[in-house]
């Protein structure tokens, strides 16, 4: 044991290892993390000082050693010594935490530690799990492997995780010092890419080399499809690069070889080519659509360039730059040029060429970028026939109303607001374009002049007197796109301004009765004054106008009363789920007076040979029209109704869990009676109805009821409809609207999956209006690619009806304009993997189907089959597409498109 008073290092190491084994035996148990700490207190009488000097190589350099009994002293005082030692070559720069469910075996001669059953080792950011893990300390190697049970099933397959990289292998050999390793039969995942390799070498945290590799986006152990290669390099979250590669389906290789493969698997934006799709049209010829290039210029700016090429000589060019600065602003510009070459039906030439274009710009400023200021732009300009010539897009083909807006707003201390804007709208059927530019609006919030600066206590009634201001200045030009010129724009330009000064007084209520007096003054500045003359020779009304500065004024005084009445019915029986129905009635009644300040610019003009006269407003067709003629002194009235129902909760019996349901959101009418009018004293009634039945069916309807009789030409007579012995009749309906929308769908088969998808949608960056419209157009054109098999069935119904009674352009009478349409779309699962759906637009007035699109979709696990058919529409078409679901390979598709006129 001793030799000349000296203890050898070999003996000391043996002693420490023996203590280590003893501690492991005492502390280790199934599933516990084993940490060994040896604490020694050695007196100077048992070990000479020379032995300590020979043991210095076992303690790391620059360590601090604290002994309870200092050397060279018999005293029990404490002293801290700092001793410098050399670091052993086989020492690690970080601790290892390890655990095992079965046992830990320490081989002293080889300095190897072996863990068995649910073995786990943690070193820095490396986490290794396996059935068996062996640590070779001299070489700093970790070796992990699995075993098979009696049923030949794998138990404890090695799995190593480092940062965001995960490897599953049959065997893992890893050098903890160099961070390199070799694995056999390895599986790893990077985003949507699954990589399998016969042998894989890890050279850094995120870089791997693979031999006999297979990569796919199918998550099955035996994937439906994959790409095979002998050599491959994988950079996690960035890219996969391979040598010669060939695809295989269901394990069967295809005789198609690609000299090399480059697969971007990183998130974010990356420049690259955009692959095309193929189309066939009887009018356009063979088509190559979507070919282009996406270029990332910097972190805030990128641009997309695409083109469509057709064999008959037509083409489309698309240029879409986009910019985004987080928390400041974002926008997108889209320019499209179309040279449409179609087969000619005239016989004069083989083709007919049409050149059209479209320009769209969308810009949004974050509200936090400039508090108190907002700026936004949504610009849409296009040729009249542009939408009609868009191929395979029924939504765009039937979009005839185009509008744009640009606006800037600034608020000062919440008291004043200035808005500067420009607006544009055009009708692609008539080609008429209207541009409102500039449009200025200034608003001052209501001020209370009688409220003292240092206000204390309840206000006096006169202190509630408030005065406001609203001012608008607008310019307008109107022209047809085929006649556009600067001279024509200037000739048709007109301007106008409007000032409104409301004065209000909030009086204290008289019990349940609210009293609201008010005074309003309005002033309008106009640029045109029209003259109307009956031309007896040509039997028509001639119209001319003079330019200048003209004014129109209006003053109104009002005193309004309002209240609310409630009634409930609760006698539904003990066994009824209905607890009660509450009816709320809100009647309004008021007096108003306004003098006739418009008499000077109204005149009666003969409009037909029969001798009918029409009261013409000489300030009509301006930006702001003149006010209504005649003095008004009378009453206005109205009634609004609301109906609610309370029901028992099906799941909770507590009183607070009862459910409330609105049966009628609003139903009522408004009207007025003018005592000062010499005729037609009772004004038409406005009737409305709003309801959300069963929280599913949205219904809204409005109508105007005229209580007067008409002659044979449709002109009003000063007789009520219930006079003259013709029976009781409330009046004639002159205009109205009806809108009904509803949607139904089944519950998700997997509610957890539906919640995750919703969270994923909510976490995405918000899209601009232009991006939303582009995505919506693509979805409408390719509905089969966006089906949700988690929803068994769904249905959406929308119906609209609009009608109005309007004077004919030649003043010979009135005509009824009516439009009615029905939109239906829905889908349902034929089987677990097949879904069928449709989308149709039906013109109820003409009893004709304007558009019909059907689709059939097949869920092929990692692939999807989509069939879209449009048998009815401006363009009839069908398409068949097979493509992977993964976004990485979304452009790897097989498609067949055909279009017919």
Residue 222: what pLDDT?
Answer: 84
Among 92, 95, 88, 47, smallest CA distance to 67 is for 47
Give yes or no for residue 647 having a pLDDT over 80. Answer: yes
pLDDT band at 584 (very low <50, low <70, confident <90, very high): very high
Q: Residues of 250-265 as b/e, b for ≥16 C-beta within 10 angstroms?
A: eeeeeeeeeeebebeb
Count Cβ atoms below 10 Å from residue 471 Cβ, excluding itself. 16
- Interatomic CA distance for residues 130 and 117, integer angstroms: 7
Give yes or no for residue 705 having a pLDDT over 90. Answer: yes
Residue 779: what pLDDT?
Answer: 62
Tokens of 793: 């069935």
Block residue for tokens 């109906």: 643
Among 43, 38, 50, smallest CA distance to 13 is for 38
pTM for the model stands at 0.65
pLDDT band at 491 (very low <50, low <70, confident <90, very high): confident
Burial class (CB in 10 A: 0-12, 13-18, 19+), 560: middle
pLDDT band at 22 (very low <50, low <70, confident <90, very high): very low
pLDDT band at 165 (very low <50, low <70, confident <90, very high): confident
Residue 287: what pLDDT?
Answer: 86
- On average, the pLDDT of the chain sits at 81
Task: Identify the residue with better confidence: 834 or 88.
Answer: 834
Q: Could you tell me if 192 and 223 are in contact, meaning their C-beta atoms sit under 8 angstroms apart?
A: no
Distances (CA, A) of 817 to 694, 723, 806: 33, 28, 7
| Tens-digit pLDDT profile for residues 356-411 | 999 999 898 888 888 888 998 988 888 888 888 887 676 677 777 888 899 999 99
Angle subtended at Cα 763 by Cα 370 and Cα 379, rounded to the nearest 5 degrees: 50
| Tens-digit pLDDT profile for residues 216-273 | 888 888 888 888 999 988 887 777 888 888 888 888 888 888 888 877 766 667 788 8
In this structure, are strands 894-900 and 277-281 parallel, antiparallel, or unpaired? parallel
Question: Is the four-CA dihedral 625, 630, 631, 637 of positive or negative sign?
Answer: negative
Give yes or no for residue 672 having a pLDDT over 90. Answer: yes
Q: Could you tell me if 112 and 135 are in contact, meaning their C-beta atoms sit under 8 angstroms apart?
A: yes
Residues of the chain above pLDDT 70, percent: 84
Tokens of 494: 């007109």
Give yes or no for residue 199 having a pLDDT over 50. Answer: yes
Partners of 423 in beta bridges: 405, 436
pLDDT band at 36 (very low <50, low <70, confident <90, very high): very low
Give yes or no for residue 5 having a pLDDT over 60. Answer: no
Residue 550: what pLDDT?
Answer: 93
Tokens of 537: 């020779």
Q: Could you tell me if 141 and 133 are in contact, meaning their C-beta atoms sit under 8 angstroms apart?
A: no
pLDDT band at 655 (very low <50, low <70, confident <90, very high): low
Residue 60: what pLDDT?
Answer: 42
Q: Tell me, what DSSP letter sits at residue 785? A: G
| Tens-digit pLDDT profile for residues 428-439 | 888 888 888 889
Residue 786: what pLDDT?
Answer: 66
- Interatomic CA distance for residues 479 and 492, integer angstroms: 7
Give yes or no for residue 775 having a pLDDT over 70. Answer: no
Give yes or no for residue 33 having a pLDDT over 60. Answer: no
Task: Identify the residue with better confidence: 705 or 253.
Answer: 705
Give yes or no for residue 6 having a pLDDT over 60. Answer: no
- Interatomic CA distance for residues 769 and 775, integer angstroms: 10
- Interatomic CA distance for residues 472 and 327, integer angstroms: 32
Give yes or no for residue 26 having a pLDDT over 70. Answer: no
Give yes or no for residue 656 having a pLDDT over 70. Answer: no
Residue 75: what pLDDT?
Answer: 40
Residue 700: what pLDDT?
Answer: 94
Angle subtended at Cα 514 by Cα 513 and Cα 518, rounded to the nearest 5 degrees: 140
pLDDT band at 41 (very low <50, low <70, confident <90, very high): very low
| Tens-digit pLDDT profile for residues 309-364 | 999 899 999 999 999 998 889 999 999 999 998 888 777 778 888 999 999 998 98
The DSSP code sequence of 399-437 is --EEEEEEEEEEEETTTEEEEEEEEEEEETTT-EEEEEE
Provide the CA 425 distance to its chain's centre, in angstroms.
25
Count Cβ atoms below 10 Å from residue 151 Cβ, excluding itself. 5
- Interatomic CA distance for residues 742 and 579, integer angstroms: 27
Task: Identify the residue with better confidence: 526 or 89.
Answer: 526
pLDDT, mean of residues 592-599: 92
- Looking at 2-6, 82-86, 290-294, which range is the least confident one? 2-6
Residue 206: what pLDDT?
Answer: 79
Length of the chain: 901
pLDDT band at 777 (very low <50, low <70, confident <90, very high): low
Q: List the end-to-end C-alpha distance of the chain, in Å, as a whole number.
A: 104
In this structure, are strands 154-155 and 180-190 parallel, antiparallel, or unpaired? unpaired
| Tens-digit pLDDT profile for residues 869-885 | 888 887 788 888 888 88
Give yes or no for residue 154 having a pLDDT over 70. Answer: yes
Q: Tell me, what DSSP letter sits at residue 101? A: S
Block residue for tokens 């029905």: 822
């Amino acid at each position: 044991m001793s030799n000349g008073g000296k203890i050898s290092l070999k003996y000391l190491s043996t002693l420490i290892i023996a203590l280590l084994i003893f501690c492991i035996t005492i502390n280790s148990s199934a599933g516990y993390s084993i940490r060994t700490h040896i604490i020694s207190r050695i007196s100077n009488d048992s070990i000479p000082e020379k032995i300590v000097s020979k043991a210095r190589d076992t303690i790391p350099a620059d360590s601090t050693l604290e002994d309870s009994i200092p050397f060279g002293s018999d005293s029990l005082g404490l002293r801290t010594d700092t001793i410098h030692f050399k670091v052993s070559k086989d020492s690690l720069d970080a601790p290892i935490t390890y655990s095992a469910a079965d046992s830990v075996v320490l081989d002293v001669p080889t300095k190897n530690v072996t863990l068995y059953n649910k073995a786990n080792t943690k070193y820095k950011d490396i986490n290794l799990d396996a059935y068996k893990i062996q640590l070779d300390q001299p070489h700093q190697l970790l070796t992990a492997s699995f075993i098979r049970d009696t049923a030949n099933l794998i138990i404890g397959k090695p799995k190593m995780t480092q940062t965001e990289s995960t490897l599953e292998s049959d065997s893992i050999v890893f050098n903890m010092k160099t961070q390199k390793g070799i694995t056999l039969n390895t599986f790893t995942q990077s985003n949507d890419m699954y990589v399998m390799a016969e042998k894989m070498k890890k050279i850094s945290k995120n870089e791997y080399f693979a031999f006999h590799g297979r990569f796919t986006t199918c998550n099955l152990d035996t994937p439906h499809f994959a790409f095979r290669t002998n050599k491959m390099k994988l950079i996690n979250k960035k890219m996969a690069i391979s040598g010669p590669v060939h695809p295989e389906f269901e394990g069967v290789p295809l005789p198609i070889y690609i000299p090399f493969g480059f697969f971007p698997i990183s998130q974010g934006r990356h420049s690259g080519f955009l692959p095309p799709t193929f189309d066939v049209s009887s009018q356009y010829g063979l088509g190559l659509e979507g070919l282009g290039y996406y270029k990332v210029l910097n972190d805030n700016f990128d641009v997309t360039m695409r083109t469509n090429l057709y064999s008959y000589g037509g083409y489309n060019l698309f240029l879409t730059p986009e910019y985004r600065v987080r928390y400041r602003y974002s926008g997108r510009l889209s320019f499209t040029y179309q040279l449409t070459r179609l087969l000619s039906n005239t016989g004069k030439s083989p083709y007919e060429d049409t050149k059209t274009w479209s320009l769209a710009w969308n810009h949004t400023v974050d509200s936090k970028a400039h508090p108190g200021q907002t700026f936004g732009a949504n610009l849409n300009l296009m040729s009249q026939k542009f939408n009609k010539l868009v191929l395979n897009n029924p939504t765009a083909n039937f979009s005839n109303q185009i509008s744009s807006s640009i606006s800037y707003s600034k608020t000062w201390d919440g008291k004043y607001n200035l808005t500067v804007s420009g607006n544009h709208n055009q009708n692609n059927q008539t080609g008429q374009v209207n541009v409102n530019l500039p449009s200025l609006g200034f608003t001052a919030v209501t001020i209370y002049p009688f409220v003292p600066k240092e206000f204390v206590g309840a206000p006096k009634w006169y202190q509630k007197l408030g005065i406001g201001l609203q001012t608008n200045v607008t310019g307008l030009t109107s022209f047809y796109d085929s006649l556009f010129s600067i001279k024509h724009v200037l000739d048709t330009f007109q301007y106008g301004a409007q000032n409104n000064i409301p004065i209000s007084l909030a009086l204290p209520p008289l019990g349940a009765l609210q009293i609201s007096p008010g005074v309003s003054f309005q002033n309008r500045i106009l640029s045109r004054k029209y003259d109307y003359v009956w031309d007896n020779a040509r039997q028509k009304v001639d119209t001319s106008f003079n330019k200048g500065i003209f004014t129109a004024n209006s003053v109104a005084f009002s005193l309004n009363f309002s209240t609310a009445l409630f009634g409930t019915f609760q006698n539904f029986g003990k066994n009824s789920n209905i607890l009660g129905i509450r009816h709320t009635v809100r009647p309004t009644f008021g007096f108003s007076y306004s003098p006739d300040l418009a008499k000077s610019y109204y005149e009666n003009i003969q409009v037909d040979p029969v001798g009918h006269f029409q009261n013409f407003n000489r300030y009509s067709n301006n930006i702001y029209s003149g006010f209504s003629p005649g003095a008004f002194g009378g009453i206005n009235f109205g009634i609004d109704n609301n109906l609610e129902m309370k029901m028992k909760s099906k799941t909770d019996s507590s009183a607070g869990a009862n459910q409330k349901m609105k049966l009628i959101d609003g139903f009522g009418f408004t009207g007025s009676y003018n005592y000062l009018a010499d005729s037609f004293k009772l004004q038409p009634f406005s009737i409305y109805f709003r309801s959300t039945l069963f929280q599913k069916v949205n219904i809204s309807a409005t109508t105007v009821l005229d209580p007067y009789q008409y002659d044979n030409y449709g002109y009003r007579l000063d007789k009520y409809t219930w006079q003259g012995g013709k029976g009781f009749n409330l009046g004639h309906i002159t205009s109205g609207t009806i809108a009904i929308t509803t949607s139904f769908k089944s519950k998700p088969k997997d509610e957890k999956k539906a919640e995750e998808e919703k969270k994923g949608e909510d976490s995405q960056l918000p899209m601009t209006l232009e991006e939303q419209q582009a995505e919506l157009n693509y979805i409408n054109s390719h509905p089969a690619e966006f089906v949700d098999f988690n929803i068994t069935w769904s249905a959406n119904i929308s119906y609209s009806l609009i009608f109005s009674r309007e004077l004919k352009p030649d003043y010979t009478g009135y005509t009824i304009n009516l439009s009615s349409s029905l939109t239906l779309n829905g889908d349902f699962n034929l089987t677990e993997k097949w879904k069928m759906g449709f989308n149709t637009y039906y013109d109820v007035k003409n009893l004709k189907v304007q558009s019909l699109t059907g689709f059939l979709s097949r869920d092929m696990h990692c692939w999807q089959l989509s069939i879209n058919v449009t048998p009815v529409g401006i363009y009839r078409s069908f398409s068949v597409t097979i493509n992977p679901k993964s976004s990485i390979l979304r452009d790897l598709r097989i498609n067949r498109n055909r279009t017919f006129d």
